[in-house]
Every structure is written in structure tokens, then in C-alpha cells.
Amino acid sequence: MTAAIALVAFLVLCGAVAPRALSPRWTYRAPALGIMAWQSVTVGAVVALGLLGLVLVLPFIHLSTDWASLVDACAAELRSRYRTPAGIGLGVAAAAGSVLVLARLAWVVLRDARAARVRRRSLHDKLELVGRIQASPETHPLQFIEIEQDEALVFCVPGRAKRRAVVVTSGARRALSPDQLRGVLAHERAHLRSSHGLVLDMARALERAVPLPLFRRAAAEIALLVEMHADDAARGRTRTELARALLRLAAGPASATAASAALGALGGGTGILERARRLVEPAAPLGRPRRLLVQASALGLVVLPVLIAVIPTLLALAFDCCGRGPIG
Amino acid sequence: MRQLGSLESEVMHVLWAADEPLAVRQVLEVMQRDRDLAYTTVLTVLDNLHRKALVARTKQGRAWTYAPAITHANHVAELMGEVLAETPDRGTALLRFVEQMPAHEVAELRTLLDALDSGEPDSQS
């Protein structure tokens, strides 16, 4: 029973403490680390949700006997360690809830992956048809596809090696200086190199599968941190040029898109100002001790729910079937 | 597959650049200025494009002639439509460098960058 309570406490703490602990004051200084921290909080929470159902239903199902013989413990002892006063009703309900969440997660991941793959293929086919591959000396060795279009737009299409692309409209090319173009291309290439499409897909799948504020917040923060991580591909003087590129490409005609509306999730802002500020006024990078603390905590967050769920088993192992007390 | 893909692009550009429908031989002629190509290759590519409804073909005398089904501008417009319609909802098909900013954020960004420029000569126009 303690396992179930501890898992619930873990979930509540994740929801309450994580947003404060993962504050922009340090995540913006170390975006890659920040992304990993948000990922581990959400993964830990999902693991806890899944295990909660298992832990509550275990005393009542045959799995407990199998599990007991697997770890060489007394089955009756094991079951009593996991039993809750609320009985089988709560157990079944919790297990059903856990299965629902995990099934929905799997469904969302598969559905979105297929939908995105279809759209990417369509984009890629059209790009291949009308785009022109450019490799200008000022951006050597960075390649990109240019499309003849006045609207200033730059984006990348993730995918496997030959099917990924960085795209620049002719309007964007005209709006940017060579240094700015170089910075923007480096940014897009960083997205492709770091598999940011996949990172975003997972974060959004979790947000859709688990309707809790923690997951919505995580998805929004990860989206911004992903951009900051890519911004860091620009070094030295190119960083201020990248900030200028942000202005040149973001202050275009008001072609309102659903995406721009969705990105205003962080306290009503688009996050673009935060990106520009950290490019123009770089903060000191995170010190080694803090980095290690974050990495250790991230690992701990994923391992802890598993440990909590396993503790009653460990306790059961210390006693034998006749209840004579700890063995030897 | 990639090779054939970019050949399709080249053939389409040849057709777009022409004022009138072209026969296979005429397309081949233009493309052979840049590289060695077989007649059958160009024929295959045009067949594929026709299957994809990207080119229309009409019989002139004994030969088929090919013309683009959609203008280059319309293709680009279609592409741009797809790009701008992207939402983060159903998976990530693309990542934009930056979204459109609301006016007050643009003003703040401009102020931030102007403050920077007041310390150094502005080399950008």
C-alpha cells in the first residue's frame, strides 16, 4: 500500500515542483540539459502512472504468483505487502486507467508519426520538383534548397539522410546578409543533426496522451529550448547576426498561421524575445557541479518510480512463508 | 530513387521554360547540352510525370508532345500552402526558423538590437 501512496506523492511532487525546479534561469543557459530534464520529468511521471495501476492490482491477479516465483519470494507475503484497504475495485480501476494512458500514448505516437511522414513526403516531393539546390560560397559548405517566393521563410524538413532538407525562400535570401544566412542555415542544420523533430513529437504525444498541466508545460518549454539549442550553433559574432535575422524574418507581413498562435503558449509570448536576448546578451554557461546535479536528478526521476514499485517485493523477500520473521 | 527524382525536376523545368508542348526528342535535345542521356530515360521520366498528373500529353501527328499540367508558380503556391498550414498538432513535418511576431514584440526586439548598434557601426542596411 505504501508503494501506491508513494507513487501518487511522486506524481504530485512532479507536477508541483518540476515547473519551478526547471526554471528558465538555468534551462535557457543550458538548453540541451533543460530538454533532457523536462524529458526525464515527463517520462518519470508516465512510468509512475503505469506502475501505479500495476501496484494496485497486483495482489489480485495471477501475475503476483509469477512475479513471486521469479524473484523467489513467498507469494502470500508479496501479495500482502502490495494489498490496499480499498481492495480489488480500486486495483482494477487503477490498472484500467494506466492501460488507457499507455495505450493512448502508443496510439498518438503511431498516428502522429504516420501523419507527419505523409506530410513530409509530400513536401519533399514538391521541393524536389520546384526547388533549386544552392551551395553558395558565402555559406560553404552548407547546402540548402531555394524556392522562388517573395514571402521570407526559412524552415527544415526532418527525415532520413537523403530526404531531409533546409529550405530558404528567395524572399528570405534577399532579406538576409551573408552572415545572417550562414547563422540561419547553421540553426536549421542543428535541428536536423539533433533530431529535434523526434524530440518535439514525443513531447507533444505525451501532452496529448496525458491531460495534465505538467505535460502541456513540458511540451511548450521543450519547443522553446529546442530553438535555443539550435540557436547555439551560431558562434561568436554570428550570434548577434542571428538575432538580427530573427527580426528580419519575424517582422514580415501578417500571414497568421496556426503554428504562430500555438507557440504563444509561454505566458502569452512567442519566446522569440527570449531567444534574441540570450543571443545578444549571453549568460554564463552552467557550472560543472550544477550540470552533474541535473544529470543525476534526471536519472533519479526515471529510476525512482521503479524503485518505489519494487520496494514491497524487496521487503517480502526478507520474510518466509510461515511468517517466522527475517531469514538468517 | 533520388536520381530519378531530380531528373523529373529537370524535365519539368525544361517544359516550364518552353512556350509550347515538346516531344521527347526535343526535351532530350535540351537536356543533352548538360549531360549524356538516353532517349528511353527521358521517355520513362515523362511517363512517370504523366502518371503523377504533372504533365499532360497530346498526340501531334505520330508523336506525343508533353506540357506541364500546372504552372511553376502554382506548384510553389501549393508548396507554400502546405508549409503555412503546418500545425504542431499532428507530428512535426517541418521546423520553422521563426514564427510571425506580434507588433509589440517586434518593437521590443528592434529596441534591443538598436541598443546593440549604438555601440558599434551598423554594417547592415
Closest-CA distance, B89 to chain A, in angstroms, reads 7
Q: In the prediction, which pLDDT does A322 show?
A: 56
In the predicted structure, residue A13 carries a pLDDT above the cut 60: yes
| Best mutation target, B10, B52, B98, B101, to test chain A (most A CBs within 10 A) | B98
Contacts of A249 in chain B (CB under 8 A): 97-98
| Best mutation target, B15, B49, B100, to test chain A (most A CBs within 10 A) | B100
Q: In the prediction, which pLDDT does A252 show?
A: 61
Q: In the prediction, which pLDDT does B120 show?
A: 54
Do B97 and A197 lie within an 8 Å CB cutoff?
no
**Which of A111, A130, A223 is opposite residue B79, by nearest beta carbon?**
A130
In the predicted structure, residue A44 carries a pLDDT above the cut 90: yes
pLDDT mean over A17-25 = 94
Contacts of B88 in chain A (CB under 8 A): 200, 204, 223, 259, 262-263
Q: In the prediction, which pLDDT does A320 show?
A: 67
In the predicted structure, residue A143 carries a pLDDT above the cut 80: yes
In this prediction, residue A237 has a pLDDT band, given cuts at 50, 70 and 90, of confident
Tell me the per-residue pLDDT of B86-98, one tens digit each, with 9 for 90 and over.
988 889 999 999 9
Which of residues A194 and A262 earns the better pLDDT score?
A194
Average pLDDT over chain A, rounded to an integer: 88
Q: In the prediction, which pLDDT does A258 show?
A: 40
Contacts of A225 in chain B (CB under 8 A): none
CA distances to A28, A113, A189, A222 from A227, rounded to whole Å, are 10, 21, 12, 9
Contacts of A148 in chain B (CB under 8 A): 72, 76
Contacts of B85 in chain A (CB under 8 A): 257-258
pLDDT mean over A301-319 = 91
Whether B93 contacts chain A with CB within 8 A: yes
Q: State how beta strands A154-157 and B95-96 pair.
A: antiparallel
Report d(CA A191, CA A199) in Å as an integer.
10
Q: In the prediction, which pLDDT does A223 show?
A: 96
Do B84 and A280 lie within an 8 Å CB cutoff?
no
Whether B71 contacts chain A with CB within 8 A: no
In the predicted structure, residue B122 carries a pLDDT above the cut 50: no
In this prediction, residue A327 has a pLDDT band, given cuts at 50, 70 and 90, of low
Count of A-B CB contacts under 8 Å? 170
Do A177 and B6 lie within an 8 Å CB cutoff?
no
Nearest CA in chain B to A258: B87
Tell me the per-residue pLDDT of A238-256, one tens digit each, with 9 for 90 and over.
999 999 999 999 976 544 4
In the predicted structure, residue A311 carries a pLDDT above the cut 50: yes
Closest-CA distance, A172 to chain B, in angstroms, reads 11
Return the closest-CA partner of residue A1 out of A39, A58, A44.
Answer: A58
Q: Which residues contact A152 (CB under 8 A, 6 or more apart)?
A: A169, A171, A172, A174, A175, A248, A249, A252
| DSSP bridge partners of A168 | A146, A154
Residue A142 in grid coordinates: 552548407
pLDDT > 70: what percent of chain A? Answer: 91
Residue A120 in grid coordinates: 513530409
In the predicted structure, residue B2 carries a pLDDT above the cut 80: no
In the predicted structure, residue A236 carries a pLDDT above the cut 90: no
pLDDT mean over A212-225 = 96
Nearest CA in chain A to B88: A259
pLDDT > 70: what percent of chain B? Answer: 90
pLDDT mean over A72-86 = 85
CA distances to A11, A42, A46, A199, A215 from A49, rounded to whole Å, are 8, 10, 5, 21, 13
Question: What's the pTM?
Answer: 0.87
Q: In the prediction, which pLDDT does A261 show?
A: 47
Do B82 and A126 lie within an 8 Å CB cutoff?
yes
pLDDT mean over A81-95 = 87
Return the closest-CA partner of residue B42 out of B22, B56, B61, B58.
Answer: B22
Letter for the amino acid at A139? Answer: T
**Which of B83, B95, B116 is opposite residue A196, by nearest beta carbon?**
B95
| Best mutation target, B82, B95, B114, B120, to test chain A (most A CBs within 10 A) | B95
Place of cell 541598443: B115
Whether B9 contacts chain A with CB within 8 A: yes
Q: In the prediction, which pLDDT does A215 show?
A: 96
Average pLDDT over chain B, rounded to an integer: 88
Do A130 and B93 lie within an 8 Å CB cutoff?
no
In the predicted structure, residue A122 carries a pLDDT above the cut 50: yes
pLDDT mean over B91-107 = 92
Tell me the per-residue pLDDT of A145-181, one tens digit each, with 9 for 90 and over.
999 999 999 999 998 877 889 999 999 999 999 999 9
Whether B114 contacts chain A with CB within 8 A: no
